[in-house]
Amino acid sequence: MTTTTAKFLRSRISKVCVAITGTTPAEMVEKATAVIKETPFLEFRLDYLNKPLLALPLLKQFFIENTAVIAIATCRRSANGGKFDGTLNGELDVLIKASEAGFHLVDLEIESAEALKKAELQKQREAGAALLISHHDFNSTKDLDRVFARIQVFEPDFVKIVPTAKSLIDNVTLIRFLERVSDSANVVGICMGDAGIISRVLGLRAGGAFTFASASSGDETGPGQIDARSLIDHYRIDQIDAATKIYGVAGNPVKSSLSPIMLNSAFRRETVNAVYLALQATKLPDLLKLIHEIPIQGISVTMPFKQEVMAFLEKTDPLSTKIGACNTILRAPDGKLYGFNTDVSGVIRPLEKRISSLRGAKVLVLGAGGVGRAAIFGLRDKGADVFILNRTPETAQKVAKQSGAKTIKREAIAKTTFDVIINATSVGMAGQKASSLLEPKELNTKLVFDLVYNPLETPLLRMARQQNIPIITGVEMFVQQGARQFEIWTGKPAPEEEMLRVVLHALRKQADTSLEASVAKPVKLKIKAK
């Protein structure tokens, strides 16, 4: 294919190429038909079919009926990370016939290109489709310039380099690579893995020709791949440019966090040119380096970094200093990092909607970790009488001494009456074995507040409902702390109703039970001060 034709082809393709999989040709066409109105740039993974050649007549008819579609044919052999168990010549035969059937590009892995004779590769070029040569490293991110030079020997129309991000900073390696070479070639660069989401969203801004997405959640063709609707709707990938500010939630794990959905929806609602990413971090130095290299303007800090990050901040708000934990970072124009703790607001504001005054209220807090400390110090700051039960008594005693709270033994709980019981542990969180910290006889309280937001109804909340005890779900805490983060970063009022709506919608997709009534209509309690 000529350079002019390749340029014309690039001018027609969209920024997102949707990977289409299926066990039958009919299933592939059905999936493709469902996505082409929004994203007409498709990759058909022919290697997912038992007999790829038999699918080509149906796909040829699909292209005739859908002339706006631009399609890539991929038939990756199992030796190179694909599913095709045929020979090299078998792969080449499929790609040549795919070109003749109307595919606009074919994806040939570098290992296959190097194994083919020059005359065989020429047959592929003569078939008419543009040639994309790809390289996949399923273990690491190494010398990308060397890989690029290796591919360029074949003078392809498009280059695709896909390493695996073992750390956040691997994304920076890929982005810097794209910035260096994008003016000289049509390059697609993506990092696989949970830590690679940055490259999938920001690679285009660095000069990448396009990025890949799955047709839907569960149809991923590579580790860490994002579904097309999320890339377009949540991350607004078509609108990301050099002025887009980058934010994210950092911790381990963060894959299931709903913060990206919530904060990206808030940015969209308030027309803020920003994007919010899930940053899978295993080591704090890796995260801190990323913040300065990208640069990232703000971070939601979650487990296990809330306390460790304090030592690297220029300054923190008074409550963060007291608590010794920070969940929100703002990067100033001079690059210095400032810390805040919005977990406190996330706990206090929902309680103040139900309780006329927290002063003198008797509160049991289960847990003394990062969010537990925020609840304890925040409540003590409001004058509440706080009791701590923690798995490790020594930790509870230390926090109690620092905050002016008290510790309590498990056997004393059933004999004690509280105004509020708060779960600040991860017990009951989605993905964990269903369990509860307390027995029904121990819920001697007027109100139960579970800070776990996923699932909507935790074992503790279910137990409280069964005893007709008013509850507060963790969704309220989650939205409130996120709203304060939005305000710190943007200086604008947070669209709390929209944030609540998208979080509830996401959680309802994961569970049938809805607790919207208890979240939206708080029960006002009268609690007398001591």
Q: Closest Cα partner for 356 from 530, 529, 526?
A: 526
Contact 44, 63 (CB under 8 A): no
Cα separation, 188 vs 231, in Å, equals 16
What angle, 0 to 180 degrees and rounded to 10, lies between the N-to-C axes of helices 25-35 and 56-65? 20
> Two tokens at 488?
């710190």
The region, left, alpha or beta by phi > 0 then psi within -120 to 50, assigned to residue 7 is: alpha
Three-state SS for 192-248 is ECHHHHHHHHHCCCCCCCCEEEECCCCCCCCCCCCEHHHHHHHCCHHHCCCCCEEEE
Question: What is the distance between the terminal CA atoms of the chain, rounded to a whole angstrom?
Answer: 83
Cα separation, 257 vs 270, in Å, equals 22
> Two tokens at 118?
């020059």
| DSSP notation for 92-103 | HHHHHHHHHTT-
Active-site amino acid positions: 306
DSSP H helices, 389-472, are: 393-403, 410-413, 459-466
Residue 149 vs residues 145, 155, 156, 185: alpha-carbon distances, Å:
6, 10, 11, 11
Contact 328, 342 (CB under 8 A): yes
Cβ atoms within 10 A of the Cβ of 93, count? 16
Cα separation, 155 vs 185, in Å, equals 10
Cα separation, 181 vs 434, in Å, equals 51
